[in-house]
Amino acid sequence: MADTKITTINPFTEEVIETYPLMSDEEADKVVRASHEAFLEWKMKSLDERAKIIAAIGKKLSEKKDEFAQLMRREVGKLIRDSRDEIDLCAAICAYTAKEGPVALADDEREVDGATAFVSHSPIGVVYGIQPWNFPAYQAVRYSIASLMAGNGVLLKHAENCTGSGEYLRDLYEEAGLPKGLFGVLRISHDQSDAIIAHDLVRGVTMTGSDTAGRHIAAKAGEVVKKTVLELGSNDAYLVLDDADLDLAIKTCVQGRLYNNGQTCVNAKRFIVTEKNYDAFVEGYAKRFGAVRMGDPMDGDTQLGPMVSREQRDKLHEQVEKSVSNGARLVVGGEMPDREGWFYPATVLADVEPGQPAYEDELFGPAASIIKAKDDMDAMRIANSSRYGLGGGIFSKDVERAKKLAAEHFDTGMIFINSFDLASPSLPFGGVKDSGYGREHGPEGLKEFVNAKAIKVASKAAA
Ligand code: NAD
């Protein structure tokens, strides 16, 4: 029999946090209808009125930062400092959207021969979001705030592991003044989710997660001709070129791999190092990874917390073992620790080559893949040979050349030069190839779920 409830479990203690009943089809339908009803009023509010409420949500997030951060730590094992940073990023997204949303979404006058014309960015209706557990607050905030600014209603089906965070966010939005029901949370199965995609009142679907799930969801939306945005996984490459500052590259690539317990779509995952620097990079990287402190996410000294679930941890271990049996060199880690909590040690695989999961797939946890390239252009070729294309990085002292490589050759959505970074509220975020399509953040993200309506008025002469 299919599950009728969701149980959340603390990955550090393996203890049950909470049990929630799944909604019936009728209950889910009610949530969709409530969002649509609220949308009918919300869409009539001016951009400035909507912006005021979004700014208030940002303030409320900051006020409740610690409480929300603790909930995320319990639900997904996130380090407490990463949890607090995540709420700061959410508040920054609200502040950016409240300020720039009215500018990006304002009517846009266009020149047309013999007529006046403008483009109105009209809301489309209820947008359905399906989100993963790795950033319980940020994933839900980034699409919902943009869609609410645009005048849409929003639904959230969060990952089961962070059910509490989804409901917390809904209550927080309403406390900050968002009309009741406009942001609706669904506790539903994947089969029920297919029916929500097909629901007449749902007008768009945005999904963040694995490419396997993305293909299914986009196909379902395609059957009913609904627009999708897909933010999927990746195995982001960081190139260490001949002229790189090696100390900076090693330090940054270690942080970039470990951030969020290694479970971020844009974590640095494959390190492609030219022959010149290869041995020194492997040695320096392994030294730092070997010294990583694994432990309690509440402890300020902890660098690596547990993985979100036993399944994710076991999957990573399998990928590491298969890579080694296919020829990768295990330099550090790789052994399942005998302790409570779903921990996996910081692991370094070197001499990674095609045919190994560490080369071909996404390793969604604290395992680094180091790949040797002949020279700079070979490194670029290897990076682009991936089926994914979300983010990536370049380490080089020649910043102008790195900028050109990024713009002209790197086949991904986001490139960081001499650094590792996540998302910025003003910059488009999203990928190409199996990493999905569409963008969040920036004016690009604000316009994903609007109807760009062309309105043309005949001139007197033409009339
Ligand atoms: P997942 O695809 O298994 O799950 C993500 C969400 O999709 C969950 O809510 C899940 O319940 C739902 N889902 C899965 N199959 C579904 C179906 N058939 N119908 C409806 N909903 C379905 O992903 P995961 O393993 O939990 O998350 C990790 C993945 O997400 C990684 O690949 C990671 O890189 C990716 N990710 C991408 C981004 C991005 O912005 N591009 C951000 C974060 C995570």
Order across the sheet with 237-240: list the strands. 329-332, 347-350, 367-373, 270-274, 237-240, 392-395, 416-417
Same domain, 211 and 246: no
* 217 in contact with ligand 1, CB cutoff 6 A: yes
Residue 157 alpha carbon, nearest atom of ligand 1: 9
Pocket perturbation via mutation, ligand 1, pick of 191, 230, 265, 311 by most ligand atoms within 8 A of CB? 265
Which residue is catalytic, options 75, 160, 231, 440? 231
Pocket test for ligand 1, best of 3, 188, 232, 313 (most atoms within 8 A of CB): 232
272 within a domain of the structure (yes/no): yes
pTM, two decimals, is 0.97
Note whether residue 423 is domain-resident: no
Q: Where residue 153 falls among pLDDT bands split at 50, 70, 90?
A: very high
Domain with 308 in it: what CATH number? 3.40.309.10
Residue whose CA is at the smallest distance from ligand 1 atom 30: 209
For residue 422, what are the contacts with CB-CB under 8 A and spacing of at least 6?
89, 259, 264, 266
Number of domains in the chain: 2
Is 37 known to be catalytic? Answer: no
133 & 265 share domain: no
- For atom 39 of ligand 1, which residue has the closest CA? 231
Residues 93 and 143 in one domain: yes
Same domain flag for 396 and 436: no
Q: How far is the CA of 180 from the centre of ligand 1 (A)?
A: 27
Positive or negative CA dihedral for 429, 434, 438, 440?
A: negative
Radius of gyration of the chain (CA): 23
- Are 312 and 350 found together in one domain? yes
Tell how far the Cα of 234 is from the centroid of ligand 1, in angstroms: 12
Task: Compute the distance from residue 369 Cα to the ligand 1 centre, in Å.
Answer: 22
Q: Which residue has the tokens 């007449």?
A: 200
- Distance between CA atoms of 94 and 425, rounded to whole angstroms? 9
**Inside any domain, residue 460:** no
CA of 160 to the centre of ligand 1 (A): 11
Residue 460: pLDDT over 90: no
Residues 40 and 127 both lie in one domain: yes
Indicate if 229 and 247 belong to the same structural domain.
no
What's the 212 CA to ligand 1 centre distance in angstroms? 8
In a domain, 422, yes or no: no
DSSP state for residue 433 in the 8-state scheme: G
What number of CA atoms fall less than 13 Å from residue 33's CA on the CB side? 6
Are 254 and 336 members of one domain? Answer: yes
Q: Are 20 and 187 in contact (CB under 8 A)?
A: yes
Mean pLDDT value across residues 346-375: 98
Residue 71 Cβ inside 6 Å of ligand 1? The answer reads: no
Averaged pLDDT, 418-424: 97
Residue 17 lies in a domain: yes
450 and 409 in a common domain: no
Same domain, 314 and 393: yes
With respect to residue 425, please indicate whether it lies within any of the assigned structural domains.
no
Cβ count within 10 A of residue 81:
14
- Span 11-16, mean pLDDT? 98
pLDDT (mean) for 190-197: 98
What are the residues facing 230 on neighbouring strands? 207, 437
Q: Is residue 259 part of a domain?
A: yes
Judged against a pLDDT cut of 70, whether residue 463 lies above it is answered with no
Whether residue 426 is contained in a domain is answered as: no
**Ligand 1 centroid, distance to 207 Cα (angstroms):** 7
Query: Does ligand 1 lie within 6 Å of residue 362's CB atom?
Result: yes
Residues 229 and 242 placed together within one structural domain of the fold: no
pLDDT reported for residue 113: 85
Residue 451 sits in a domain whose CATH number is 3.40.605.10
Mean pLDDT of the chain: 97
pLDDT confidence of residue 228: 98
pLDDT tens across 379-417, in order? 999 999 999 999 999 999 999 999 999 999 999 999 999
Residues 169 and 296 grouped into a single domain: no
265 is catalytic: yes
Exactly one of 94, 253, 265, 448 is catalytic; which is it?
265
Residue range of the domain that includes 103: 5-233+431-455
Q: What's the average model confidence in pLDDT over 163-184?
A: 98
